[in-house]
Structure 1
């Protein structure tokens, strides 16, 4: 399998899940500006959506959208516990949390990365993030992980998006449980390996 990624982007979550699952994964970096891959291809010809992550399967098919990719990768190694069993309530709790992070956390950061965003839009995004992190902080104050009693794809996704806070000056000091979660996830060997592989930290 090949993962098309950009360092530190939302594709990092899929990269983490693959490493946590012990999967062999080829990486092909995509330039966010020119949409060229490190292998010399036009990423838009591979994925017309133009967004990472995209996962090229062994049969040549392409899977897109982070939450779908993370669940697919997790299911390659069910024993990893990265995604609960099919048709269990815990599986739907994972999907619930992935959906929440995708729509209410991930997308709220987008205007904050765009210097052309009107101040009113930026203010709305900051206020929304504060509300959502307050909910997450309450959850993580009582639970080590977001779903069930072990690390799942949802934790990888929250870690990835929350890492963006420092880049846009979003203050997380009011959310100590979220910060503690970031530290727990960042200390995992597979997460550390993914960060090193993407050039985000030194070995």
Structure 2
């Protein structure tokens, strides 16, 4: 018997919004922006630069605003993004959305990593609006993250929202912390995956998912 599926609440999912951020007043947001800008100014000064010179005068504020945009996923939640876009549909084959471009910030170095996410799932009487898959991927990416966590959080969220027969998420990304520092491998690509349900237990389904991503099918 298939259980009834309804949109989840923000308290239900681990990937929900941060209440300390989402509930800020406009005054609190202004104060937060100023604190961020002051912190950035301190960093620039510690590097030996002059924050009063023309090119850097507004950099602290610009960077603070950019950082808030890069991490806007903290202000969003799964239930708000899904917004009841769950539909009953008698479809039993794979649903795939591939090549979702995302950008995130490495939580270890606060530098970007960018790449693509591929999502596939097998419905269990219910499907999710296709655009919602991309928006969920964007929400989890727009936080301080590691690639492995994004992959797992996205697969888990889809599972909790839809109760599908199986879910697969694959992410390919290039990390600037590997390109610009450390090993400095400019051509390296990191690939992570999370397979749940039949996508994990049934190798035929998993292989079909991967073949369809590659554009081939036996």
TM-score, normalising length from structure 2?
0.28
Q: Which has the higher contact order (CA 8 A, sep 6+)?
A: 1
Higher strand share: 2
When Rg is computed on C-alpha atoms for both structures, the one with the higher figure is 2
Higher helix share: 1
TM-score, normalising length from structure 1?
0.30
